[in-house]
Amino acid sequence: MEPVTVIIESLGWIASGLTIATYAMNTMLLLRVLAILSSVFFLAYGTLLGLWPLVAMEATLLPINIYRLWQLLSLRRKVARSSGARADFDIVRRYGKRRTAAAGTILFRKGDKVDRLYLLSKGRVRIEEMGIEIQPGDIFGEIAFFTEDATRTATARAIDDVEIYDLDETRFLRLQFEDPGFGLAVMRTVTRRLMEGNDVPPSAEVRPAAP
């Protein structure tokens, strides 16, 4: 057998082996890497033998798998960035609707149906039943999205004149799907809020003064 023939057949066998390994993978990252390698070897094999339908197919699959691999790596970087000490919710500012409210305004009451997530841009907001004060840059109103009956679990009142940005439920759910880093940051905020609420001591009972 000619050396060139041996090389060509080797390319075909390697490409076939990589394709089999691709289907055996249980993680998407390795699957895409092996699919890319398989396409590279099949392209070489098909070009040397003049198998143009095979070349056309692999030339189409190669950029698709490269793009999917890039998406996976981008998602991993987003999740890694969200692991910092403080989440960045600026994406709510970009997609949300700006509103203002005067000090003392009740933004929502306990038991209200959940419809929006809020980002506080200026001022302070108090979550009354939990005893939590929201600072600029924080989101609030997120916990109700994860309750079974989708109702507010506490009342939010503006302490100062406030500027807020709100997202409706459709946009909020879409951002969680499109940006895993955002979704992870929201879940961490929910966990932190619940822990903060549990740490708040019960209010002391007010007793009438002695006559």
Q: Lowest-confidence range among 3-17, 141-155, 172-186?
A: 172-186
Map the chain to HEC letters. CCHHHHHHHHHHHHHHHHHHHHHHCCCHHHHHHHHHHHHHHHHHHHHHHCCHHHHHHHHHHHHHHHHHHHHHHHHHHHHHHCCCCCCCCHHHHHHCEEEEECCCCEEECCCCECCEEEEEEECCEEECCCCEEECCCCEECCHHHHCCCCECCCCEEECCCEEEEEEEHHHHHHHHHHCHHHHHHHHHHHHHHHHHHHHCCCCCCCCCCCC
**102/100 Cα distance (integer angstroms):** 7
Locate tokens 């009451």: which residue?
109
pLDDT band of residue 78 (cuts 50, 70, 90) is: low
CATH fold of the domain at 90-199: Jelly Rolls (2.60.120)
Query: Taking residues 89-114, what's their average pLDDT?
Result: 90
Q: pTM here? A: 0.54
**Which value, in Å, is the radius of gyration of the alpha carbons in the chain?**
28
Average pLDDT, the chain: 84
Query: Taking residues 153-165, what's their average pLDDT?
Result: 94
Would you list the domain boundaries of the chain? Answer: 3-81, 90-199
Q: What does the pLDDT read at residue 32?
A: 93
**34/31 Cα distance (integer angstroms):** 5
pLDDT at residue 87 above 80? no
Burial annotation 163-190 (CB, 10 A radius, 16+ → b, else e): ebbbbeeebbeebbeebebbbbbbeebe
pLDDT tens profile 174-199: 887 777 777 778 888 888 777 776 65
Q: Lowest-confidence range among 18-22, 192-196, 201-205?
A: 201-205
Among 1, 2, 42, smallest CA distance to 18 is for 42
Query: Taking residues 67-74, what's their average pLDDT?
Result: 88
Q: What does the pLDDT read at residue 210?
A: 40
Q: Kindly state the percentage of the chain with pLDDT values over 90.
A: 50
